[in-house]
Each structure stands twice: as C-alpha cells, then as structure tokens.
C-alpha cells in the first residue's frame, strides 16, 4: 500500500529536515519501481524537534515547508498523487505538557542539596536520561508551587526509586526547596508518560490532566 520511512527525531535544523525528505523521496521512488501495485500512501516520517536545553532555538517551520515543496511535488508526479504524511507529534504536543511531582523529603549530602520527589523515571523516563544516557541533559525544571525567592544553588532532584538512575535534575539551579513543594518539568508533552515504565518497582501511578483555555462569555 505504501512506504513509511523514518530517518530520525528531535531535529532543530530546517536544512537537515529538508535534506532528509529529499533523500526519502528519492528512496521511495526507487523502491516503488519494484512494486506491482499503485503506491497509495507515503509517510515521510517527521523528526521536527522542540527546544529543551539552553541555547536551542525553535525550528523554522516556514523554511521546512518551503524547502520540502520541490521534493513533495516530485513525489506526487512520479507516484501519481499518493497520500503524503508527515508526522508532527513532538512538535505539536511536546511544549504543551508539564510533569508535576511533589517533594517528599529534602537532605544535604556532602554539601549538596537533594530534593526527593514522589515521582521519577517510572513516570518520566526521558527526563531521567532513558536508563543511562551517556550525554544526559536536564529538561527545564522550575519550582511550581510558589514564587522562587532567595539565592539559587545547584540541586539534585531525584525520585523515590532505589536506583541512582532515578535522577530528574542534575545540579539544577533552584532556590531553597521545602517538603510539600511542587516541582515542574517543562517540555513534557511528548515521550513522557507513554514512554515510561509505569509499573517499575510497583510504585504508584500518575494522573494525566487536560487543562483547557476557558473564556468567560
């Protein structure tokens, strides 16, 4: 019926996305020569990223759209106008989600403050580093339950699990954190709950809450 070609994810460079689509189209046209039936659908993948870390800039979506037009038009001509799909999942929902966890304990270890939360990698594996990423970076983390006051200092934000991999924030600059505070991890709308081992060590689950934009009439 068609082709689904996936080249990569979390790309913030428009030129790289365009190049990927061009190569994908050429590959689809080549492979279609071996098909005995008309090609109905072509999924070009996606991979459009969102900024997670300092100095990252949002992808130029207009540049992507203009850049891939020639390749898509070529695909439509060669394969007689199949349905063309481009997946936009993370780009659409990633920035819309927050992961909020409650502080259940605080302590200092060798002069380093540790904030222990009731949620961790079993709720948000991506933020923890996916079971040991070599180059782990912190998602944006903020104190969500009150206004931050006072000086900040590097703080370890960890979950309740009995593994050193249960790390939500490594040396995050946070103010004084108290038991009962809420910590929010931003950019959590994609690869959050659905990509995490919810039953890990039989810990309690989580709730997903949709917040709408209500306007008074």
pLDDT of residue 217: 54
**Do residues 49 and 90 lie in contact, with contact meaning Cβ atoms separated by under 8 Å?**
yes
pLDDT of residue 135: 82
pLDDT of residue 95: 93
Q: What are phi and psi of 41, to 5 degrees?
A: -140, 140
pLDDT tens, the chain, 217 aa long: 999 999 888 999 999 999 999 999 999 999 999 999 999 999 999 889 999 988 899 999 999 999 999 999 999 999 999 999 999 889 999 999 999 999 999 999 999 999 999 999 999 999 999 998 888 899 999 999 998 888 999 999 999 999 999 999 999 999 999 999 999 999 999 998 889 999 888 888 889 898 877 665 5
Cβ within 8 Å of residue 212, ≥6 positions away? none
Distance of alpha carbon 177 from alpha carbon 156, whole angstroms: 11
pLDDT of residue 142: 95
pLDDT of residue 67: 97
Taken in order 7, 134, 132, 144, is the CA torsion positive or negative? Answer: negative
DSSP 129-170: TTTT-TT--PPPEEE-SS---S--EEEEEE-SSSSTT-EEEE
Query: Between vectors from CA 103 to CA 209 and to CA 129, what angle results, nearest 5°?
Result: 75
The residue among 42, 34, 35 whose CA lies nearest residue 72 is 42
pLDDT of residue 215: 66
């Amino acid at each position: 019926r068609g082709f689904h070609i996936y080249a990569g994810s979390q790309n913030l460079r428009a030129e790289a996305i365009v190049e990927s689509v061009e190569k994908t189209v050429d590959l689809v046209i080549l492979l279609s020569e071996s098909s005995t039936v008309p090609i109905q659908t072509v999924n070009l993948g996606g991979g459009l990223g969102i900024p997670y870390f300092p100095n990252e800039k949002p992808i130029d979506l207009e540049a992507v759209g203009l850049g891939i037009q020639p390749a898509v038009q070529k695909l439509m001509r060669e394969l007689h106008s199949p349905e063309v799909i481009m997946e936009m999942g993370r780009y659409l929902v990633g920035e819309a989600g927050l992961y909020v966890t409650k502080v259940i304990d605080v302590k200092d270890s060798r002069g380093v403050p540790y904030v222990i939360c009731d949620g961790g990698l079993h709720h948000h594996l991506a933020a923890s580093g996916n079971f040991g990423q070599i180059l782990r970076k912190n998602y944006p983390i903020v104190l969500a339950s009150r206004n931050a006051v006072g000086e900040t200092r590097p703080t370890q934000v960890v979950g309740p699990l009995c593994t050193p991999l249960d790390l939500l924030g490594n040396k995050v600059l946070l103010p004084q954190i108290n038991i009962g505070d809420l910590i929010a991890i931003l950019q959590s709308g994609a690869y959050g709950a659905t990509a995490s081992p919810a039953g890990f060590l039989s810990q309690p689950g989580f709730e997903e809450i949709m917040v709408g934009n209500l306007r008074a009439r």
